[in-house]
């Protein structure tokens, strides 16, 4: 939630600061394979660029369950990428997304929220000068490999359905990503070669001094882990936020043990 909540504020701050005509956001688990000059050209005509999870419909029932319905739950557009002009509709979008993410960037699919993404289902209805990029070379990932064939030419150029690969989104690095990639890449061996390169690059950049999945805000000051129920209750109750302005100190933790839902009767 916190990692995705920074996107809107980042774009809004770029717009407010001035000095840049366009802003392009890419998730940290993406890699560029070709220049993004075409995006710059698109932003001469449009103010907001989005890439949908899918640009071709699946027919296979398993792929529909894995990919089409997943996009219906988590958002039509993948917000591992967004590009805007820093004026006009782009700036208006950045302020709107900033406000929504600061207030409602939660992983709560039953209530219609999936962090930053579900909000952007509204973008084509709320804003003008929006372009949906349907080029298969953008935002390639496990969720669209069922409809994208990857090839590497003798000259080393990587093509996706015949188009130049611009960037790949290496989502869910690990067992989940491996399973979904193998399920839909099949015998498209170029996909595995690209993944091999990425895993080696990540391993080379990994700092062994940082514990795996470490997060600075995952514990109370005494080292006890903060549970999701403790976190959700605090964010939903203004009285607790007022009573315990520093939730990591001992006050909120003591209250939870004595009076909160976690106490024993």
137-196 pLDDT, tens digit each: 999 999 999 999 999 999 999 999 999 999 999 998 888 889 999 999 999 999 999 999
User: Which long-range contacts (C-beta less than 8 Å, at least 24 apart) are formed by 16-19?
Assistant: 18/86
Res. 215 pLDDT band, cuts 50 70 90: confident
Tell me the pLDDT band of 211, cut-offs 50, 70 and 90.
Answer: confident
Our count of domains for the chain comes to 2
What's residue 10's pLDDT?
96
Of all residues in the chain, the percent with pLDDT exceeding 70 is 98
Give residue-wise pLDDT tens across range 223-262. Answer: 999 999 999 999 999 999 999 999 999 999 999 999 888 5
Model confidence at 114, pLDDT cuts 50, 70, 90, reads very high
Span 74-98, pLDDT tens digits: 999 999 999 999 999 999 999 999 9
Residues 162 and 227 in one domain: no
How, if at all, do strands 130-132 and 48-50 pair? parallel
Between helices 250-259 and 228-236, what is the axis angle to 10°?
A: 100
Residue 78 sits in the same domain as residue 15: yes
- Nearest CA-CA partner of 253 in 233, 159, 86, 89: 233
Answer yes or no: do 230 and 110 share one domain: no
Question: Residue 148 domain-assigned?
Answer: yes
* CATH number of the domain within which 36 lies: 3.90.550
188 plus 237 within the same structural domain: no
Query: Using only C-alpha atoms, what is the Rg of the chain?
Result: 21
Bridge partners of 85, per DSSP, are 22
Identify each DSSP E strand in 153-227 by its residue range: 158-160, 163-164, 167-169
Domain encompassing residue 123: 2-205
Length, in residues, of the chain: 265
Q: Is the dihedral of CA 49, 118, 72, 189 positive or negative?
A: positive
The stretch 94-110 carries a mean pLDDT of: 96
In this structure, the number of other CB atoms found within 10 A of the CB of residue 168 comes to: 24
* Boundary of a domain, candidates 164, 183, 205: 205
CB 150 within 8 A of CB 188: yes
The reported pTM is 0.92
């Amino acid at each position: 939630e916190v990692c995705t909540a920074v996107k809107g504020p980042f774009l809004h701050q770029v717009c407010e600061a001035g000095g840049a005509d366009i802003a392009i956001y890419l998730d940290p688990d993406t890699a560029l394979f070709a220049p993004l000059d075409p995006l710059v050209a698109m932003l001469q005509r449009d103010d907001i660029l989005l890439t949908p999870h899918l640009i071709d419909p699946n027919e296979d029932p398993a792929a529909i369950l894995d990919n089409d319905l997943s996009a219906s739950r988590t958002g039509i557009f993948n917000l591992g990428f967004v590009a805007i002009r820093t004026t006009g509709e782009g700036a208006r979008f950045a302020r709107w997304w900033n406000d929504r993410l600061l207030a409602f960037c939660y992983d709560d699919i039953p209530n219609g929220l999936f962090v930053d993404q579900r909000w952007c289902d509204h973008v084509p209805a709320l804003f003008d000068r929006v372009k949906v990029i349907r080029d298969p070379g953008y935002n390639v990932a496990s969720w669209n490999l069922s409809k994208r064939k990857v090839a590497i030419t003798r000259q080393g150029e990587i093509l996706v359905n015949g188009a130049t690969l611009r960037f790949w989104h290496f989502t869910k690095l690990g067992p989940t990503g491996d399973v979904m990639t193998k399920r839909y890449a099949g015998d498209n061996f170029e996909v595995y070669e690209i993944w091999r390169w990425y895993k080696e690059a990540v391993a080379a950049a990994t700092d062994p001094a940082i514990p795996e999945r470490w997060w600075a805000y995952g514990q109370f000051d005494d080292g006890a882990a903060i549970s999701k129920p403790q976190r959700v209750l605090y964010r939903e109750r203004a009285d607790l936020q007022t009573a315990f302005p520093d939730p990591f100190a001992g006050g909120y933790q003591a209250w939870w043990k004595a009076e909160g839902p976690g106490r024993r009767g």
